[in-house]
Amino acid sequence: MLSYTEKIREIAGRLLQSGAVEMVIGFRAGTVPMMNEPHFAKTPADVQKLVWDSHCGINLANYLTDRKEKIGVLAKGCDSRNIVTHIIENKIKREQLVIIGVPCKGMVDKRKIAMKAETEITEVIEAETTITAKGHGFSKTFEKKDVLQHNCSLCIHRNPVIHDEMVAPPVVEQQGVDRYADVRSIAAMTPEQRWKYFEDLLAPCIRCYACRNACPLCYCPTCFVDESRPQWVGKSLDPSDVRTFHFLRAYHCAGRCTDCGACERACPVGINMRTFTKKLEQDCLDLFGWEVGLDPEVRPPLDVYRPQDPNDFIK
């Protein structure tokens, strides 16, 4: 993936110069190890700052919402599916976009690496399939596939589903991935155990809403947790309020979530809130045969009525 950088700069420079777009949204090198910052390029100097490596996990579709310009945007598999969703939901017009597809090999989870490091990591060096973390007096090399974000290790749509340019030939998609082992392990619990499981999961939450804000789907002008007339949820750290936020947010993402992992990645306290959305994702697959964001022409299942929709739950 490292070789993508040059190609990205070439495409971005060309698009800007020809006036096809006013800005190109990508990443620039971060100021701390294993972080890159979303960045817009408008000038040749900005273009030279664009980079690509295994730390570009932030979902760039989030930066397109309601923009009016003509934009070139870098898109991994998951970003491209969120762009499709944005187009379906009228958050951006297809004509405004030049989608620069980036065949993805999975993004690295910096927490996994940090947990396996003896001290603070001060430098990370990436090769094609490995990544080496260095700190004061230690150096450790990991196989990338062992330290991917959990959602990336389960990803079956690494190639952009929609694109105008590609920075490289498509990668081979992962086959035979068991995407829902986590959901099954919860389904095997008793109701009490489940309640407890989610209670423990959410205990560290500080309600910063980074998970919501990192999510391209969460673009409501006023989120239900921020409404004050009427006020739906309390604002303290009360566990029932925290849980209300999380499960309702998950419902709002039903049939829309691409499992890009932006929420988990953003959480400052490391909560795996994908545990909520995965269940809904699986339900959409089982009940409606739905995989989100593959085609801008198909309305999502919760958007349309079909006579064969399952309705056994209604008595």
Partner 1 sequence: MEHMGIEPGRLQFSWISSAESTKFVEVVTQVTAAIKALGPNSNFAKKMAEVA
Partner 2 sequence: MKMITINKSEWADGLQKAAQAYRLFGPVKEKEFHSFKRLQDGVLPDLACLNTRLSPKHLIYPQSEVMFDYTLDESRADHHILKEAARDDSPQAVVGIRPCDAKAFVLVRMNFDTPEYQDPYWIRAYEATTLVGLGCAAPCSSCFCTTAGCGPYHEEGLDVLLADAGNHYLAKVLTEKGAKFVAAAGWKTAAEPQAADRTIAALKQASESKITSFVQTDNLRSTETTDLHNAAFWEEVSFSCINCGTCTFSCPTCWCFDIQDENRGKAGVRMKNWDSCMYPLFTLHGTGHNPRGTKLHRVRQRFMHKLKYFVDKYDRGIHCVGCGRCVRLCPVNIDIRRVCNMMNNFAASGAACAIE
Residue 302 interacting partner from ligand SF4, partner 1, partner 2, none (CB closer than 5 to 8 Å by kind): none
Which residues, other chains included, contact 287 with Cβ-Cβ below 8 Å and sequence gap of 6+?
Answer: 301, 309, 310
* Separation of alpha carbons 130 and 88, rounded Å: 38
Nearest residue to 274 (alpha-carbon basis) of 189, 214, 225: 214
Query: Shortest Cβ distance from residue 165 to ligand SF4 (Å)?
Result: 17
Query: Shortest Cβ distance from residue 278 to ligand SF4 (Å)?
Result: 13
Cα–Cα distances (Å) from 281 to 118, 255, 284, 289, in that order, read: 37, 6, 5, 10
Query: Which residue lies nearer to partner 2 by CB, 54 or 159?
Result: 54
Q: Environment class of residue 270 by beta-carbon count within 10 Å: exposed (0-12), middle (13-18) or buried (19+)?
A: exposed
Q: Are 120 and 236 in contact (CB under 8 A)?
A: no
Count of residues that bind ligand SF4 according to CB under 6 A: 26
* Residue 262 touches ligand SF4, criterion: CB under 6 A: no
* Residue 197 touches partner 1, criterion: CB under 8 A: yes
* Residue 177 touches partner 1, criterion: CB under 8 A: no
Query: Which of 54, 85, 151, 277: binder of ligand SF4 (CB under 6 A)?
Result: 151
* Separation of alpha carbons 241 and 313, rounded Å: 27
Secondary structure (3-state) at 234: coil
DSSP E strands in 42-194: the ranges are 71-75, 97-101, 121-126, 130-135, 138-143, 165-166
Query: Which residue lies nearer to ligand SF4 by CB, 12 or 260?
Result: 260
Query: Which of 40, 180, 197, 209: binder of ligand SF4 (CB under 6 A)?
Result: 209
* Residue 314 touches partner 1, criterion: CB under 8 A: yes
* Residue 16 touches partner 2, criterion: CB under 8 A: no
- In the block, residue with structure tokens 């976009």: 97
Query: Which of 86, 144, 158, 279: binder of ligand SF4 (CB under 6 A)?
Result: 158
* Residue 54 touches ligand SF4, criterion: CB under 6 A: no
Over its C-alpha atoms, the chain yields an Rg (Å, rounded) of 20
Q: Which positions from 38 to 77 touch partner 2 by CB under 8 A, shown as an x/- string? A: xxx-----------------x---xx--------------
* Residue 301 touches partner 2, criterion: CB under 8 A: no
* Residue 220 touches partner 2, criterion: CB under 8 A: no
Query: Shortest Cβ distance from residue 7 to ligand SF4 (Å)?
Result: 17
Span of 21-29, 218-226, 231-239, 285-293 interacting with partner 1 by CB under 8 A: 231-239
Sheet holding 130-135, edge to edge: 121-126, 130-135, 138-143
Which residues, other chains included, contact 161 with Cβ-Cβ below 8 Å and sequence gap of 6+?
Answer: 77, 80, 81, 84, 293, 294, 295
Interacting residues with partner 2 (CB under 8 A): 30-32, 35-40, 58, 62-63, 111, 114-115, 119-120, 122, 136, 204, 206, 208-210, 213-214, 222, 226, 228, 234-238, 265-270
